[in-house]
């Protein structure tokens, strides 16, 4: 579904947000359309902790700017380590990312179920570096586990990327140069030489 389709949805939506650059266009759209959405920050994949805090604080800044509820979770890198055992060798968009998406979306779905949300979704595939299909598949699996409907939304259309670009510039939002985990961090470092 496209972002405009969410306007026909009735009920409370929980949205997993990964970082401010990916979520700001979505949050702007949600606020302008008065959609009942709560932001959920569960990203144990992010390494190191200083980076986690930096990304989280930027998302909190966006949530406050638009007056959208924000739910924080603890930093639990052991969750990510456990879920990706033996997958460190995988390339980005491979099995390690499948496990990473599933972990984060399952937690979101279960939180939605336990806290009376009607749906859940995410900003994981906002970036064109991510596979829409991979995130969508993980969302469907998380839906089966949590028994809460997953809204499979393509946020890349309807001008949201242009909006995000402008907000990032205006608000001077921190833009990271690696996906998040220790493997992507090391790869970025190696590429920089
Ligand atoms: S590259 Fe990104 S999506 Fe893939 S495992 Fe690392 S943090 Fe998760």
Residue 147: CATH number of its domain: 3.40.50.620
| Shortest-distance atom of ligand 1 to CA 99 | 5
Determine if ligand 1 sits within 6 Å of the CB of residue 183: yes
- Ligand 1 midpoint to CA 114 (Å): 26
pLDDT per residue over 118-137, tens digit each?
Answer: 999 999 999 988 999 999 99
Cα 97 to middle of ligand 1, angstroms: 5
Of residues 143, 137, 49, 53, the one with CA closest to residue 99: 137
Q: What is the pLDDT of residue 193?
A: 64
96 lines ligand 1 (CB under 6 A): yes
Residues 6+ apart with CB under 8 A from 148: 109, 112, 113, 117, 118, 119, 120
109 contacts 145 by C-beta, under 8 angstroms:
yes
Q: How many domains, in total, are found in the chain?
A: 1
Q: Which domain does 42 fall in, by range?
A: 3-192
Q: What is the pLDDT of residues 131-188, one digit of tens each?
A: 999 999 999 999 999 999 999 999 998 899 999 999 999 999 999 999 999 999 999 8
CA of 37 to the centre of ligand 1 (A): 25
Q: CA 25, CA 18: separation in Å to the nearest integer?
A: 13
């Amino acid at each position: 579904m496209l972002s405009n389709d969410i306007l026909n949805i009735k009920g409370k939506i929980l949205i997993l947000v990964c970082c401010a650059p990916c979520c700001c266009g979505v949050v702007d759209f949600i606020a302008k359309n008065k959609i009942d959405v709560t932001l959920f920050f569960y990203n144990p994949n992010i390494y190191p902790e200083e980076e986690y805090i930096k990304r989280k604080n930027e998302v909190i800044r966006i949530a406050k700017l638009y007056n959208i509820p924000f739910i924080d979770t603890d930093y639990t890198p052991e969750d990510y380590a456990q879920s990706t055992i033996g997958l460190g060798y995988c390339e980005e968009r491979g099995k390690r990312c499948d496990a990473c998406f599933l972990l984060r979306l399952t937690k979101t779905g279960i939180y939605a179920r336990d806290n009376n949300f009607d749906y859940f979704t995410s900003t994981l595939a906002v970036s064109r570096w991510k596979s829409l299909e991979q995130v969508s598949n993980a969302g469907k699996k998380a839906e089966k586990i949590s028994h809460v409907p997953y809204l499979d939304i393509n946020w890349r259309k309807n001008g949201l990327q242009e909006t995000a670009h402008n907000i990032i510039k205006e608000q001077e939002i921190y833009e990271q140069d690696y996906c998040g985990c220790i493997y992507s961090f090391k790869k970025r470092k190696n590429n920089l030489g």
